[in-house]
Structure 1
Amino acid sequence: MKITKVEVFRLPTAQSKTNSPIGCRIYTDTGLYGDGEAGMAYGIGGSAAFGMVCDLAELVLGMDPLQTELIWETMYKKTFWGQNGGPVVFSGIAAIDVALWDIKGKYFNVPVYQLLGGKVRDKLRTYASQLQFGWGQTGVSEHLWAVTPEDYAYNVKLAVEEGFDAIKIDFFDRDEEGKPLSFLDTTGFLTPKQLKMVEARMKAAREAAGDEVDIIMENHSYPDALGAVQLAKLAEKYNILAFEEPNTPTPQTVEYIAKYSSVPIANGERIFSRWQYAEYFKKNLLQLAQPDIGNCGGISETKKICDMAHAFDVGVQVHAAGSPLATSVALQLECTIPNFIIHEHHTCNRMDTSVGLTKYNLQPENGCFTVPDLPGIGNEFLREAIDKAVLYKVIE
């Protein structure tokens, strides 16, 4: 079996040009095909990831799609910029790699999880993610962006009423008037007024959630280590499960934060390979690793990261903020790892911008996901969505 053609596309389905899924479809001479997704759909740089997938597609033409390890090493070491690469390189590798695993599962007529060692659990505990953006009705774009403590409490109650026993919120995303905070606002020591604002929101969220709901505190790497320690001290008072992305991830600054905080640290969407994770694990700087399959090299690399994390008693929650395809891929991997902690269900996966992209748009029930048993990754992009792509290229 050989790779004969690769379609690469960016789908015009989100609110802006800086938040649209980047996918690929790999075809073989047997008629089997597989779909993958690059993780740089949001923020700035998606067109670079699109170009990287196109470049890598040329490299893998003619290769046997079942040789995922050989192809991964080829993409990593034959590209010059692959070794010690960043999100553009690893997002490109990820899209190709996931599509290959999809083909492999279909070839052997089993779900990908069987090829990764089989399930160790049937249901995956799930948390409602990014509640500061709102938690609206599934398939509806309208949502309440939290500003006041009452807003935070309202969004938390919506998720808890659906059966979620864990949630994630950024308490330091906007000011008290609803204006987005800039890096000038979030860097350095935080003022008493800022801390008072954060604590009021945190307190409201905890009271709305109750004592039996876990809360993860999101920070999107906005603070630096100085402000992160101040935020961690607040988090200790409200029994926060994990402090996510407290600052720009570097081992030396995370070590400083960990020294002055008892709150477990979660990080990973800006750490892109097993080599970059290694230092965090060796120094016990992470308690919850959050590799994004779409930007750290795909299933092949993420499984290695998860296994490495297991050796250091580090839990895993795959970072999942892409299309419904990314959700399906995350579930295939997470159900196979003993050190799985929880699955992320982003509020964007409930909005109408996720409708019409993929064959399936899985949603959790009572705060849990069941893993699909279809061959491959269990999902694919719709042809009608691909045909509307704003960026599109065929490599053959």
Structure 2
Amino acid sequence: MTISRVTIFQLDWGRLSSIWHPVVVMVQTTTGQCGWGEAGIAYGTGARGAVSILKELAPRIIGRNIWDSNAIWEDFYEHTFWAKNPGSTMYAAISALDTAIWDLKAQAIHQPLYQLLGGKLHDQLPAYASHIEYGWGPFSRYVTVPRDFARLAKRAVEQGYSAIKVDPITQERGQGLIHNRHLLSPAQLDRYYQRVAAIRQAVGPDVRIIIDCHANLTRRSAQQLVQRLAPLGIDYYEELLPSIDPAQTVRLARETGANLAVGEHLTGPQTYLPLIKDVAMVQPDLGNCGGITAAIKIAALAEANGVGLQLHVCGSPIATAAALQFEAACSNFVIHEEHEINLKDANYQSGQYHYQPVNGQYQVPDRPGIGQELSPIAIKHAQVTIIDK
């Protein structure tokens, strides 16, 4: 089956388009089949950069056989020069195309993607409520006071979630970002503690709490936070430090003994090597780690070192669907990230099929491929680029 066309969709999110701009690709064959993938760079800065790289990479796969996915990935790595450096926009583009090709392969045999990954190990995938501090509802509302953290945590637990993730530090006051992050003041530490303590008091001892700091701390301030929150029974800490210097994360893990999770900012399997023996969880994003091809290697590396896997999932329904398929076949899978962005109607409705967790559990979809595509309304409002030669 030969690839004949690549279509790039820059999704339009209306009034929130300035902060949320998913980039989705559709790879089409000469027989008319379409595979879908996503560049995991829907937030922050870089979506347009990923689109530009997609425009350059797409002609490299026109005329290629979908079953040559390893050779296509190696071509990206060996012959584009910049793929040998872990750049986010480059790997976001590679990831989108790679996932779309895997989607096509699974569709070609009329099977869910998990069958190509060795078969389904999990019929249901437990999920956690990710980032309740953003309001955990249909509209974003950043919360800052402990009673609101408690209220939203209780809402998630009542919906069936047995685990909650929260960033207690980024919103210092209102929507002001953290200051003085190199060494936290007693007032800062107390503010963060009170927020998490309110969650723990509201949900009781049996609900897992995950802390995410969006890489906004240094090793010393992270040590302070881990020590302060220790009495609250934190399950693991995600992205305490920037991953640009992995030695700092290794040192933090060894000095504190805390369960650390990394991966949201890492691209390519090699970037996990300095960290893999010291972290508790890897969190690759299928939209920027290098796609399904790279994620297979990352998962195997983690399993060989006794490390769990929890994909980072913060994107359109394309990203969610691909993650569910991969996790279903992953032996060291721990938990699925149900990001609050999936509660937003504009994002949710951009998928043709509607997948939601029930009582905190995802049923693994059994449609062919990743089992998802863009909805007609998403396509209608997207900025579209077609590359066929």
Please point out which of 341, 361, 381 is paired with 1:348: 341
Q: State the SS of the aligned residue for 2:362.
A: strand
Please point out which of 175, 183, 190 is paired with 1:196: 190
1:386 alignment partner AA: I
Would you say 1:305 and 2:298 are equivalent positions? yes
CA deviations over 1:77-101 (Å, ceiling 9, x no partner)? 1111111331111100111011101
Please point out which of 212, 219, 225 is paired with 1:218: 212
Aligned to 1:26: 27
Q: In structure 1, what is the Cα distance between the partners aligned to 2:75 and 2:200?
A: 48
Aligned to 1:278: 273
Would you say 1:317 and 2:288 are equivalent positions? no
Aligned to 2:86: 85
Would you say 1:263 and 2:258 are equivalent positions? yes
RMSD: 1.3
Answer with 195-204 or 352-361: which moved more.
352-361
Aligned to 1:58: 59
The 8 Å contact of residues 25 and 37 in structure 2, kept in 1 or not, is answered as yes
Q: State the SS of the aligned residue for 1:160.
A: helix
2:279 alignment partner AA: L
The 8 Å contact of residues 142 and 175 in structure 2, kept in 1 or not, is answered as no
Q: Number of aligned pairs?
A: 387
Q: In structure 2, what is the Cα distance between the partners aligned to 1:237 and 1:128?
A: 22
Please point out which of 215, 222, 244 is paired with 2:238: 244
Aligned to 1:179: 175
2:257 alignment partner AA: S
- Deviation (angstroms), 1:17: 2.8
Instruction: List gaps (5 residues or longer) in structure 1.
Output: none
Q: State the SS of the aligned residue for 1:157.
A: helix
Aligned to 2:9: 9
Q: Give the TM-score, by structure 2 length.
A: 0.97
Answer with 9-18 or 196-205: which moved more.
9-18
- Deviation (angstroms), 1:383: 3.6
- Deviation (angstroms), 1:335: 1.0
Q: Give the TM-score, by structure 1 length.
A: 0.95
Q: In structure 2, what is the Cα distance between the partners aligned to 1:243 and 1:21?
A: 26
Please point out which of 313, 326, 330 is paired with 2:323: 330
Would you say 1:39 and 2:25 are equivalent positions? no
The 8 Å contact of residues 113 and 325 in structure 2, kept in 1 or not, is answered as yes
Aligned to 2:77: 76
CA deviations over 1:53-79 (Å, ceiling 9, x no partner)? 111101111000121111111111111
Aligned to 1:206: 200
Q: State the SS of the aligned residue for 1:327.
A: helix
- Deviation (angstroms), 1:218: 0.7
Q: In structure 2, what is the Cα distance between the partners aligned to 1:186 and 1:79?
A: 40
Q: In structure 1, what is the Cα distance between the partners aligned to 2:111 and 2:195?
A: 46
Instruction: List gaps (5 residues or longer) in structure 2.
Output: none
Q: In structure 2, what is the Cα distance between the partners aligned to 1:64 and 1:293?
A: 22
The 8 Å contact of residues 250 and 279 in structure 2, kept in 1 or not, is answered as no
- Deviation (angstroms), 1:143: 4.2
The 8 Å contact of residues 117 and 329 in structure 2, kept in 1 or not, is answered as yes
Q: In structure 2, what is the Cα distance between the partners aligned to 1:229 and 1:35?
A: 41
What is the aligned-residue identity percentage? Answer: 37
1:11 alignment partner AA: L
CA deviations over 1:42-62 (Å, ceiling 9, x no partner)? 100110011111111011110
Would you say 1:164 and 2:157 are equivalent positions? no
